Amino acid sequence: MAALPAAASLLPQTWYVLNRAAQRARELVEEAIAPLGLRRRHYAALGILAMEGALSQQALSSRIPIDRATVVQIVDDLERLGLAERQPEPADRRAYQIALTAEGRAVLAKADRLIAGAEAEAFKPLTAAERKAIDRLCRRLCGWEARRGGK
């Protein structure tokens, strides 16, 4: 069991406890995918491109959601890593769309496995039933009805 943080007086506040749990999970995910040269924002972009196909930077920005300038940096990073590429937009030669490369799909699959391991570590103190319950409750708090992957 970890020691109580210095901000222990905030512990009765649910938002604080939930944020701390999320922070721990984020840190484990970041550590897990770092060897692939990825951060969470790269993973999010790869996942969206894998699900939706090639998108403009603007469309990608609206789905992550982050500001357009940061999306440019993410796309630059993914292109540098050989995981995505800018392609001319078929309907507008002045515009580009972002598409995954074969390497991008392969790295996304590796990242999925590494993140599954990070999640297992983050939720290790919980039973399978508790993990499902917390997932269901957090999705309700976010206003999301369906579970990822049909679970």
Q: Indicate whether 57 belongs to any domain.
A: yes
At 79, which amino acid appears? Answer: E
Please check the confidence at residue 147 and state whether its pLDDT lies above 80: no
b (16+ CB within 10 A) / e for 29-63: beebbeebebeeebbbbbbbbeeeebbebeebbeb
**Helix, strand or coil for residue 100?**
strand
Helices (H) and strands (E) in the chain, counts: 6, 3
pLDDT at 1 over 80: no
pLDDT at 151 over 60: no
Q: Residue 65: inside a domain, yes or no?
A: yes
- Give tens-digit pLDDT for 70-103: 999 999 999 999 999 999 988 887 888 999 999 9
Per-residue pLDDT, averaged over 56-66, amounts to 88
Give which of 31, 30, 34, 55 is closest to 45, Cα–Cα.
55
What total number of domains does the chain contain?
1
Q: Which residue range is the domain that position 30 belongs to?
A: 12-144
Residue 10 has a pLDDT of: 62
Q: Is residue 40 situated within a structural domain?
A: yes
Q: Is 149 inside any structural domain?
A: no
- Tell me the pTM: 0.83
Q: How far apart are the first and last CA of the chain?
A: 30
We report the CATH number of the domain holding residue 104 as 1.10.10.10
